[in-house]
A and B are shown apart, each in its own frame.
Chain A
Amino acid sequence: MTYDLTFAKDVYQKAEMGHWIKMCMQCGVCAGSCPLRAHWQHSPRQLFQMVRAGKRDEVLKSSDMWMCTSCYNCIVRCPRELPITHIIHGLARYAETQGAADPKQPTRRFAVDVFWKNITATGRVGEAMLTMRLYFQDGIGAGIQRGLEMRDSALGMLKTRRLNPIPFRGKIKGYDGFTKMLAKAAELEQKLENKA
């Protein structure tokens, strides 16, 4: 493997908060702070060094940055004030826009295939549909099984009005503005892509 900064420079420029990756001093505090540390392969600081080493495919195909639950422990503790949570999300988004993300990564599938579609269709999240789509994305059998597994939680949420069983119909007020906003964001993103 050869160190090459082409990838890193692209990330610094295009990934949200990506330029902060330069500032990591490899202390490892983020790794020890992450509650999901049992579930990823590379800690944030490892990902950052991989970016700087030019390991493009390994980083972009990695499952690691999709694991972040935004608990912010790492941001709070990072001695260099890196906004690690945001960088991690930025890297995930970057992997997606580069078309390099692993399509089978569950969080990615949820985010891109389920959540994004759900929210952009109406302008707000429809919890019932979102849950259905998520549970049944691997087929009916798997969906039923998951539903049964989560039954107690679902009932509890219903009782405390945390889950609205009635699907949201129609569109939010000002849906046009909402879609325009999304279009503008996409345009800006494209501009950044072209500039690089």
Chain B
Amino acid sequence: MADAHAAGQTILVVGGGISGLTTAVEAAETGYNVLLVEKDPHLGGRVAQHNKYFPKLCSPTCGLEINYQRIKNNPRIRYLTLAEVEEISGSEGNYTVRIRKNPRFVTEACTGCGDCSAVCTTEVPDPFNFGMNQVKAIRNNHAMAFPSWYYMDPEFAKTEAAKTVAKSCPVGAIQPDMEATIIEEQVAAVVWATGWKPYDAEKIRPYGFGQYANVTTNMRFERLANVYGPTSGKIVRPSDGKEAKKVAFIQCAGSRDHNYLPFCSRVCCLASMKQAAYVRDQYPDSEVTIFYIDLRAMDRYEAFLQKTRDDAGISWMKSKPARIEEDANGNPVVIGENTLTGERYALPFDLVVLATGMEPHSAVDAKVPFAGASQDDYGFVTGGVLAAGCAAMPTDVASSVQSATAMAMKAIHAAVKRG
């Protein structure tokens, strides 16, 4: 079977996060050619920004490494970084796609030696860490980034300084005048795996994110707790660098809410329990409070909820807080009603973490550029192309992998039909 697959029966996978990676390696290992397109400079997507996975509290890098090895060892997979699909036409079995490959300003000849970064004096806010720290204008995102070639910020590439940096490269891999290219491909199937972005917490006005320094979001907290994050993994308050030992996690910040995202983002409860563990592990005398409406620890994750409940340092408040204020000491004060007692509370914390929900990229900046595509009211992809992981629904890693593997199967169906 595998050898009989004609050339041209390529499966296009859009998005190089855990879903896209999975569809790509699973389809390729079944014998099909895959073109994987990622808009960022590295693969790994959202999971690469995570410190740990629930419920095992293990590093996402561990599973990513296996998938990267599978890509490195499999000539059936081609991958493009800094690339976006601009247009899709045709129909299942026979799509034509136009891909824009944005300039990296560094060629694949890059050996990752780091000389350029050492020479470069221009620093920019680090998008990988949500701008919480400054990084060099030429870099890779972290030591485990794949592919490991460096990249240069487009704005910096326009400067004279970029030319000086380019001269530092011992292998001549830096080309500040690199331009975007357009690629056209014929593919049998399109799997949309563009994932999600954290909902813009500034829109949730009563919680004061952006206004109060010590109100942060779950994804920022993930970086804060990570050894390659802005504080090298030290959990501290952004305002004064004080150890954050009294931490609140507020669920459904933007999810299950008609003012923001009406759907449930599924992972936030469990992610907050995981993040509570980060705090508890770092500071044995810490106190964590989790504010929630319903604790959604689906099926086997229930064990993780039970484990979290066994920690006396974590308390629970069944309440959607009404608002957050700031006291004179810069402590965010969470205000609301405890629905189990009917009592009103106003509780000060060192740090408040908003469990902001998942906004599908396909709703905002990665709409399917195909006339035959359909999406639901929330922007999740429902038809016209195949959708894997969080492009189809807000979900966790395990079920994204489940979905992505299933979509590899559906993509193969399209390729087989084409014959």
A30–B323 CA distance with the chains assembled, in angstroms:
10
Q: Collect the chain A residues with CB atoms within 8 Å of residue B322's CB.
A: 28-33, 73, 77
A169–B319 CA distance with the chains assembled, in angstroms:
52
Show 27 A/B contacts (Cβ-Cβ < 8 Å), sorted by A: A25-B293, A26-B339, A27-B293, A27-B319, A27-B339, A28-B320, A28-B338, A28-B339, A29-B322, A31-B322, A31-B336, A31-B342, A32-B321, A32-B322, A32-B323, A32-B335, A42-B342, A45-B337, A46-B342, A73-B322, A77-B322, A79-B252, A79-B256, A79-B257, A79-B259, A80-B258, A81-B259
Residue interface mask A18-61, B partner, CB < 8 A = 1: 00000001111111110001000011011000000000000000
- Does A32 contact B337, Cβ atoms closer than 8 Å? yes
Interface size class of A (residues with CB under 8 A): 20 to 34
Residue interface mask A75-99, B partner, CB < 8 A = 1: 0110111000000000000000000
- Does B259 contact A29, Cβ atoms closer than 8 Å? no
A31–B335 CA distance with the chains assembled, in angstroms:
10
A18–B321 CA distance with the chains assembled, in angstroms:
24
Q: Collect the chain A residues with CB atoms within 8 Å of residue B258's CB.
A: 79-81
> In A63-83, which residues have CB < 8 Å from any B CB?
73, 76-77, 79-81
Q: Collect the chain A residues with CB atoms within 8 Å of residue B320's CB.
A: 27-29, 79
Q: How far is the CB of B75 from chain A (nearest CB, A)?
A: 50
A80–B342 CA distance with the chains assembled, in angstroms:
20
Q: Collect the chain A residues with CB atoms within 8 Å of residue B344's CB.
A: 31-32, 37
- Does A32 contact B336, Cβ atoms closer than 8 Å? yes
Given A77-B206, A79-B258, A79-B259: A29 and B342 interface contact (C-beta under 8 Å):
no
A33–B252 CA distance with the chains assembled, in angstroms:
16
- Does A33 contact B257, Cβ atoms closer than 8 Å? no
Having A28-B339, A31-B337, A76-B259, one finds 20 other A-B pairs with CB under 8 Å, namely: A25-B256, A25-B293, A26-B293, A26-B339, A27-B252, A28-B337, A28-B338, A31-B339, A31-B342, A32-B319, A33-B322, A33-B323, A37-B344, A42-B342, A43-B342, A46-B342, A73-B322, A79-B252, A79-B258, A79-B259
A28–B252 CA distance with the chains assembled, in angstroms:
13
- Does B339 contact A45, Cβ atoms closer than 8 Å? yes
Q: Collect the chain A residues with CB atoms within 8 Å of residue B342's CB.
A: 31, 42-43, 46
A29–B256 CA distance with the chains assembled, in angstroms:
13
Complex: chain A residue closest to B339, CB-CB: A28
A45–B322 CA distance with the chains assembled, in angstroms:
13
**Chain B interface secondary structure, helix, strand, loop or mixed?**
loop
Q: How far is the CB of B57 from chain A (nearest CB, A)?
A: 29
Q: How far is the CB of B265 from chain A (nearest CB, A)?
A: 13
A43–B322 CA distance with the chains assembled, in angstroms:
13
Q: Collect the chain B residues with CB atoms within 8 Å of residue A27's CB.
A: 252, 293, 319-320, 339
A73–B338 CA distance with the chains assembled, in angstroms:
18
Q: How far is the CB of A100 from chain B (nearest CB, A)?
A: 23
Q: How far is the CB of A31 from chain B (nearest CB, A)?
A: 3
Complex: chain B residue closest to A33, CB-CB: B322
A10–B293 CA distance with the chains assembled, in angstroms:
28
Q: Which of B206, B257, B336 contacts A28 (CB 8 A)?
A: B336
Given A32-B344, A37-B344, A79-B259: A43 and B337 interface contact (C-beta under 8 Å):
yes
> In B157-180, which residues have CB < 8 Å from any A CB?
none
- Does B259 contact A77, Cβ atoms closer than 8 Å? yes
> In B251-291, which residues have CB < 8 Å from any A CB?
252, 256-259
Q: Collect the chain B residues with CB atoms within 8 Å of residue A37's CB.
A: 337, 344
Complex: chain B residue closest to A73, CB-CB: B322
Q: Collect the chain B residues with CB atoms within 8 Å of residue A31's CB.
A: 322, 336-337, 339, 342, 344
Complex: chain A residue closest to B292, CB-CB: A27
A33–B321 CA distance with the chains assembled, in angstroms:
9
Q: Collect the chain B residues with CB atoms within 8 Å of residue A25's CB.
A: 256, 293
Q: Collect the chain B residues with CB atoms within 8 Å of residue A45's CB.
A: 337, 339
- Does B259 contact A28, Cβ atoms closer than 8 Å? no
Q: Collect the chain B residues with CB atoms within 8 Å of residue A43's CB.
A: 337, 342
A29–B207 CA distance with the chains assembled, in angstroms:
12
With most chain A CB atoms within 10 A of its CB, the pick from B252, B318, B339 is B339
A77–B319 CA distance with the chains assembled, in angstroms:
13
A81–B260 CA distance with the chains assembled, in angstroms:
11
Q: Which 9 A-B pairs have the closest CB atoms?
A: A32-B322, A31-B337, A32-B336, A79-B257, A27-B320, A28-B337, A33-B322, A28-B339, A81-B258
Complex: chain A residue closest to B335, CB-CB: A32
Complex: chain B residue closest to A46, CB-CB: B342
A43–B336 CA distance with the chains assembled, in angstroms:
11
Q: How far is the CB of B343 from chain A (nearest CB, A)?
A: 10
A28–B251 CA distance with the chains assembled, in angstroms:
13
A25–B319 CA distance with the chains assembled, in angstroms:
11
Residue interface mask B98-139, A partner, CB < 8 A = 1: 000000000000000000000000000000000000000000
Complex: chain B residue closest to A38, CB-CB: B344
Complex: chain B residue closest to A42, CB-CB: B342
Q: Collect the chain A residues with CB atoms within 8 Å of residue B338's CB.
A: 28
Q: Collect the chain A residues with CB atoms within 8 Å of residue B319's CB.
A: 27-28, 32
> In B306-325, which residues have CB < 8 Å from any A CB?
318-323
Q: Collect the chain B residues with CB atoms within 8 Å of residue A32's CB.
A: 319, 321-323, 335-337, 344
